[in-house]
Structure 1
Amino acid sequence: MHATRLLPTAFAALCLCAATAAIAQETTSLERVSVVGSRKTLPAASSTDTLVPVDVYAMDKLAEGGGQFDLAQTLQYLSPSFNSTRQTGADGADLIDSAALRGLGSDQTLVLVNGKRRHTVALVNIFGARNRGATGTDMNSLPLLAIDNVQVLRDGAAAQYGSDAIAGVLNIQLKKKVGCEAVAGYGQYSAGDGKNYLASAYCGVKLAGGTLGITGEWQDRGRSNRNDPNDELVGPRTIGDTAVKNKTLYLNGEFPLAGDNKLYLTAGAQDRDASSGAWARGGVGSGDIPDRNSAAMYPDGFVPFINGDVQDRYVSVGWKSAFAGWDTDLSQTYGSNKMRYNISNTLNASIANQDLLNGGKGVSATSFDAGGFGFSQATTNFDVSRFFPDLLGGSNIAFGAEYRKEKYDIVAGEPGSYIDADGVGFGGNAGSQGFPGFQPGDATNRSRNSQALYADWEASFTPSLTVDAAVRAEHYSDFGSATTAKLAGSYKLGKALMLRGAASTGFRAPSLQQLYFSSTFTDFISGQPLDVVLAPNGSKIANAAGVPALKQEKAKNLSVGFTVKPDADTAITADLYQINIKDRIVLSGRFDADNYPALGTILQGLGVGQAQFFVNSVNTRTRGLDLTASTRAKVGAGQLSTFLALNVSRTTVTARNAPAALQGYEDVLLSTRERLFIEEAGPRMKGTLGFEYAQGAWTGEAKIIHFGKQTQGGFTDGVLLKYKPKASMDLGMSWQATPALKLSVGGNNVFNVKPTRQDPYETDNGFYYDSVQFGLNGASYFARAHYRF
């Protein structure tokens, strides 16, 4: 889609905005922060004042009375550039919600907490996920009540913040204000399941001359199930939300020392118990006995449950000071994420069949420790900045350095989770049904480090013209170096209108998860027992296939737009953008003797039947439009606010870069189905139109969220799954019962809208409603009580 084709959409949306009113992104209550996209410290600005598009979302009202109980879903229905759809039938991806900006991968969005890089999760999405082949940051590991505001930088920022910031940056500012508050919430789907309980409390206390904010949260979200028992393919499956129990504690504080010195601290921990239903196994007469079931154990069939024990830890300690007029910030940040799998309500069919052959009943254990993985990241930053009021009309100069150490490991499961007890290719399949455990050959323990230097100069050459230039050089111990640069500027045409634009280069280092993830299971192919392997980069199998070492993705970002702020109550922003990514890392299809005979012979010589790899195999181009508009107006005895936000984008695979050994086999390397997972990871359009009317103690809210069309590929060649545009509506009402107590009720997707129905034999989750757009669960309702003391 050429950028000019987006202009009619922009014009139409502006006309709509002129006829309606909008809830602005409220910034009046925000603390003094460093807004992402600029190294200059200033009162939090609206997006009409920044050189690049930045949305600032205050979290107070949403944490007190919003219909969503976690951060990812809150932003999903607030920010049009943000996408996070809960998965079902996607193994580990069901347990951690992925999140991304502008339709790109979750590992192409950088997440900061209080301006410091946050670690990614250990999980790399492999099966069933829209975000397959990528890893990302778990947004739901932070409690909503701990957050002051979320800043969404919708522009490439690798030259300022380093790897991963191709699509943009999310900066989560935590509270550190005095006072205490608590929230109790309850929600459920209209179908009567998915019961969601929330209890959260924040208390900011004076300590050592500063403030320490403490937040504790407990959440218990029940499983939902949209399974149709009459559907012959689905059978007894569980289709819906994962069951989740979260226990979270966060600290955030800042304490003055002598002179201009300050000590700050952020620390958090979350333990999550999550459980997702895998594909159902049939009972007697289904054909699943003895290969996937045992008549003695589950004669009516069964649903294995993939249970994840997720532990997330984060701590950041820093010292702010001043020296000869320069502000300095020295910090150390550490984060880790671990996931261990326990598969329950399952069996190892090969053990059950061996037991039967030995004269037993034909049983095995019903739960297995399937192993897991972990990722940790330690980051040291030293940042220096100074504002020179008389230099070029006012200049802010910043520079700094960063050192980062990362580690990744895979732990094998217990033998029963992966062995083939009755012989390979005979009787029952190996491993725990639903999720076979990691084998000893998959186990790994890897690490790397990186060093970076950056410089940033922002200058106001005239009262109207502001320019920012940044450059950053990084070196990684495992693949080499990358240098990126950015130039951004704005020009004010009077008090109300500002033009802005930016051009930058960016990069994303291959994650350790993509470099070293390994998974092996045994299959019976062409009458021969052979392994199916997701082979890590640099392994014997990958080298035999001619897969080169992974290298960084390279990006070029361009954006141009304008902002209009005719008065204090009205604001409009519109920005066109283009993101070109070269050598994007994707997960290949499976290669075997049928689709690539020469390679198949080599693989069989290594005892491997099918293999797939991570490869720098495609170039993509993303073009789009971001639009926001807001106003407030006095209506009757109250105030009406409206907020319009729109994102229109299209990602296109512009080239397939097959390694020399795989040239001619591009259709295996990237099939139509896999290409559509990249090009349409999210809907091509997403818009939010919200209305809020406040009068006295009462506040009412209505919000329409439009999800554009989306196309996915079926399992059958040539079959396309086309999802029509859909819109949902959220309604809510709050009553400030006393100065301290607020009660809120409402509904999400109140008209019970679901994605376009498809052939379940072709969908990724094997159900006629897939996990696209806003998901498949339908309407939900909630109630909250917020108390301030």
Structure 2
Amino acid sequence: MQATRLLPTALAALTLFGTTAAIAQEAGSLERVTVVGSRKSLPVASSTDTLVPVDIYAMGKIAEGGGQFDLAQSLQYLSPSFNSTRQTGADGADLIDSAALRGLGSDQTLVLVNGKRRHTVALVNLFGARNRGSTGTDMNSLPLLAIDNVQVLRDGAAAQYGSDAIAGVLNIQLKKKAGCEAVAGYGQYSAGDGKNWLASAYCGIKLGGGTLAITGEYQDRGRSNRADPGDLRTIGDTAVKNKTVYLNGEFPVTGDSKLYLTLGAQDRDASSGAWARDGSSDIPTRNSATMYPDGFVPFINGDVQDRFVIVGWKSTVAGWDTDLSQTYGANKMRYVISNTLNASIANLDLINGGRGISPTRFDAGGFGFSQATTNFDVSRFFPDLLGGSNIAFGAEYRREKYDIVAGEVGSYIDADGVGAGGNAGSQGFPGFQPGDATNRSRNSQALYLDWEATLTTALTMNAAVRAEHYSDFGSTTTAKLAGSYKLGNALLLRGAASTGFRAPSLQQLYFSSTFTDFINQQPLDVVLAPNGSSITNAAGVPALKQEKSRNLSVGLTVKPSVDTSLTVDLYQIAIRDRIVLSGRFDDSNYPALGTILQGLGVGQAQFFVNSVDTRTRGLDVTASTRTKLGAGQLATFLALNVSRTTVTSVHAPAALQGFEDVLLSTRERLFIEEAGPRTKATLGFEYSQGAWTGEAKLIHFGRQTQGAFTDGVYLKYKPKTSMDLGLTWQATPALKLSMGGNNVFNVKPTRQDPFETDNGFYYDSVQFGLNGASYFARAHYRF
């Protein structure tokens, strides 16, 4: 989309200015902070003063009385640049909600906690309508009540923070203030299911001259199901039980020295319904007449463990502020498949004179990812250098580890022989085989330099450069230049240009999955092959390398008064050598390679490969105003994101040239180009009078197109707008009661042909999900 085509949208947004707004959550109440995107500490935080677009969302009201009970969904309905849609029928992707910025992949957004890099999950998204082939960060592993604010940097920042910061950066700042509070909440869908219970408590305790904040949370979200009556399938939210505890504190030691720490742990039990198996046509291949004569739905149960630790020491040495920290994060997922069977075991039992049964529960194995990061950061502000300069530099060492653990034998074995009747493995999710098991690690080292200078009272510039070396693919250097110019007290022009990169994740390098199928009357494996294996070598797939990006942005901010503000930013993100998951290659679509694969005992193979260049162009608009209305006060806000991603080229490895349509089909291309709606906007009104506060919020999701299974068929989703309503009563100075509804008009995505959708249902998990209206009530008590 050309920038000129975005201008009418910008002008339309400007005409609303003064009566509408965005980012009312801009944190005017925040104390002195370091805003993500800058190494300089600021006495106040304002999105109209930053060199690049930064939204600052204070999370207090949301945690106390919001309609969403987790962080990902809260940001989904707050930030137009942020996308997170719950998946259904997407195996492991149902258990962990992916989150991304500006319609790019979830692994192209860097997430920080208290300014420190947070680990990604072990899961690779292989199915579902979002983030296919990507890893990401589990936003819902942090309790809402523990969060002070979320800073959303809408600009490339790899030169400042390293890998993954192509689309932008999310910095989650945890609370460490004294005092105690608790929240109890309940919600459910208007259909009567998806019952959601929440209990959370926070307490900040004065300790040793500092504060130790402790947050505990329990969430029990019930399963929802939108399948038609008589349909065996379960189409809706995954059932989730989260048990979470977080500690966050900072303590003075001697002089200017401080010790700080963050400790977090979450255990999640999640359960998602897989595709239904029929009671007649699937016997004996995927079912047993004895066990499930009327058909069944296998359940993919995930035991997810997430751990996070930060320990650091801040001090001042010869006028320089120093920060030495150690961060460790780990994510593990273990699959247990229930209400299932191994059809080959059941068929063998029947052949041997038995009833034709198999176990109904299997440990299918799992995977884990851990990341240990050591940082040493140094900075100092020189008031007399070039009108005032902040110089920062530092070093980082990071070690990552990824492993796959095989499941029990019954979860993957073909007991009756390939092609003999029953399919191998546990239905719903065949277990990882011993050949899939792996244990890999790598390390990286980085040096960076950052200089921000106020050259004149109007002109501020920032330059950053970062050099990074990875043990598995080599070195890369990135740079960034940003600046702002004030035209009077109310108007500021800003712009930035940067290069960036994303290292291939260990999950993309080494994920392996194998199951046996009967292809052309031959028993052959269907393999998702890891990079560097005999299969990828035979296909001529080179070693994965980093994705490279070039980011450009230009914008303006207007703040005519304390209560009114506006920001408008245009951006372009060009990414080279994006890593994608290929289509399946076999004898039918590439005979020469298919012959080689069959010689290796493989019928079909797919793999990760650097093969796509993309360009994303977009517009961000935010505006906010606050005014007296009658006896109360009205806050109005508007936030808008318009973007378009285009695959500009597909460059196959030499051995696969001419087969680009298999490497990246039209359907897979649309998963990249249409990862999120083209337009997303939030228009909200909040009116407060005395002890009462009412809120109305419109969330608009623009059109989105997905590819169908049939060539030449497209699933076109029309623009949809939902409304959230909320009412809060401050019953006493300590007690606050809230109630309301989300998507109160029960809006759903455009109905499609269920034989063409990704989840096999006429409502797919795009734009904002398929569950419809929901209602909630909360009680917040401050001790």
Q: CA offsets per residue over residues 669-700 of structure 1, 9 Å max, x none?
A: 00000000000000000000000000000000
Alpha-carbon deviations, 1:351-399, whole Å to 9, x = none? 0000000000000000000000000000000000000000000000000
Match of 1:489 among 477, 483, 506: 483
Q: Counterpart of 2:43? A: 43
Task: Tell me, yes or no, if structure 1 residue 450 matches structure 2 residue 444.
Answer: yes
Show the counterpart of 1:537: 531
Query: Using the alignment, how far apart are the partners of 1:108 and 1:265 within structure 2?
Result: 27
> How do 1:207-606 and structure 2 match up within 5 A?
207-229=207-229, 235-283=231-279, 285=280, 287-606=281-600
Please tell me whether the aligned partners of residues 481 and 496 of structure 2 are also in contact (alpha carbons under 8 angstroms).
yes
Aligned residues: 783
TM-score in terms of structure 1 length: 0.99
Aligned 8 A contact 1:205 1:212 in 2: yes
AA in 2 matched with 1:491:
Y
Does the residue aligned with 1:343 lie in a helix, a strand or coil?
A: strand
Q: Which amino acid aligns with 2:197?
A: Y
Q: Is the 8 A contact 2:301 2:335 kept in 1?
A: yes
Q: Distance in 1 between matches of 2:252 and 2:217?
A: 28
Contact 1:502–1:558, Cα closer than 8 Å, also in 2? yes
Structure 2 counterpart of 1:141: 141
TM-score, normalising length: structure 2? 1.00
Residue 28 of structure 1 deviates from its aligned partner by 2.3
Aligned counterpart, 1:198: 198
Contact 2:21 2:622 (8 Å CA) reproduced: no
Paired residues for 1:544-693 under 5 Å: 544-693=538-687
**Counterpart check, 1:760 vs 2:742:** no
**Counterparts of 2:177 and 2:143 in 1: how far apart (Å)?**
16
1:130 Cα deviation (Å)?
1.2
AA of the residue aligned to 2:10: A
State the 1:26 CA deviation.
Answer: 3.4
Q: Is the 8 A contact 1:22 1:691 kept in 2?
A: no
| Aligned amino acid, residue 264 of structure 1 | Y
Q: Distance in 2 between the 1:395 and 1:781 partners?
A: 51
Please tell me whether the aligned partners of residues 34 and 44 of structure 1 are also in contact (alpha carbons under 8 angstroms): no
Query: Contact between 2:19 and 2:625, CA under 8 Å: does it hold in 1?
Result: no
Deviations 1:52-81, CA, capped at 9 Å, x for gaps: 000000000000000000000000000000
SS in 1 for 2:530: coil
Q: Counterpart in 1 of 2:166?
A: 166
Q: CA deviation at 1:519?
A: 0.1
Q: Provide the rounded CA distance (Å) in 2 between the counterparts of 1:84 and 1:106.
A: 9
Q: In the TM superposition, what is the alpha-carbon distance from 1:521 to its structure 2 partner?
A: 0.3
* Alignment check: 8 A CA contact 1:22 1:632 kept: no
3-state SS of paired residue (2:18): helix
Contact 2:28 2:46 in 1 (8 A): no
- Structure 2 unaligned blocks of 5 or more: none
Find the aligned partners of 2:124 and 2:21 in 1 and give their Cα distance.
42
**Counterpart in the other structure of 2:87:** 87
Q: Distance in 1 between matches of 2:633 and 2:141?
A: 35
Q: Which residue of 2 aligns with 1:777?
A: 771
Equivalent AA in structure 2 for residue 154 of structure 1: R
Give the counterpart of 2:700 among 700, 706, 727. 706
- Does 2:95 align with 1:101? no
Asked whether the 8 Å contact 2:211–2:250 carries over to 1, the reply is yes
Q: Distance in 1 between matches of 2:283 and 2:17?
A: 61
Amino acid at match of 1:410: I
From the superposition, tell whether residues 153 and 21 of structure 1 become closer, same or farther in structure 2 (CA, over 3 Å): closer
Q: Work out whether residues 22 and 639 of structure 2, in 8 Å CA contact, stay in contact via their aligned partners in 1.
A: no
The answer (yes or no) to whether the contact 1:25–1:46 under 8 Å persists in 2 is: no
Structure 1: gaps of 5 or more residues: none
Give the conservation status (yes or no) of the 8 Å contact 1:23–1:632.
Answer: no
CA gap of 1:590–1:44, structure 2 versus 1, over 3 A, is farther
SS of the equivalent of 2:672 reads helix
Cα offsets for 1:382-440 (capped at 9, x unmatched): 00000000000000000000000000000000000000000011200000000000000
Question: Deviations 1:58-105 (Å, cap 9, x if unpaired)?
Answer: 000000000000000000000000000000000000000000000000
How far apart, in 2, do the equivalents of 1:740 and 1:674 lie?
A: 52
- Work out whether residues 114 and 171 of structure 1, in 8 Å CA contact, stay in contact via their aligned partners in 2: yes
Q: Name the amino acid aligned to 1:377.
A: Q
Residue number among 723, 729, 738 corresponding to 2:732 in the alignment: 738
- For residues 629 and 353 of structure 1, the distance between their equivalents in structure 2, rounded to whole angstroms, comes to 64
CA-CA distance at 1:23 after TM superposition? 5.9
Partner SS for 1:550: coil
* Aligned 8 A contact 1:224 1:240 in 2: yes
Q: Partners in 1 of 2:127 and 2:680 — Cα distance?
A: 26
Deviation beyond 4 Å, 4+ runs, structure 1: none
- State the 1:570 CA deviation: 0.2
Match of 2:580, SS state, is: strand
Q: Is the 8 A contact 1:418 1:437 kept in 2?
A: yes
Paired AA for residue 217 in structure 2:
E
Counterpart in 1 of 2:150?
Answer: 150
1:317-350: CA deviation from partner (whole Å, max 9, x where unpaired): 0000001100000000000000000000000000
Note the C-alpha offset of 1:113: 0.2
Give the equivalent residue in structure 2 for 1:5: 5
Letter paired with 1:121: V
- Matched AA of 1:188: Q
> What's the C-alpha RMSD, in Å, of the aligned pairs?
0.7
Distance of 1:345 and 1:405 partners within structure 2:
39
Specify the SS of the correspondent of 1:510.
Answer: coil
**C-alpha separation between the residues in 2 aligned to 1:281 and 1:465?**
65
Structure 2 counterpart of 1:702, one-letter code = A
Give the drift of 1:25. 2.2
The Cα of 1:42 is off from its aligned counterpart by 1.1
* Alignment partners' CA distance in 1, 2:337 and 2:102: 35
Distance 1:26 1:437 in 2: 47
Shift of 1:128: 2.4
Q: CA separation in 2, counterparts of 1:242 and 1:73?
A: 14
Q: How far did residue 17 of structure 1 move?
A: 2.5
2:22–2:622 CA contact under 8 A, matched in 1? no
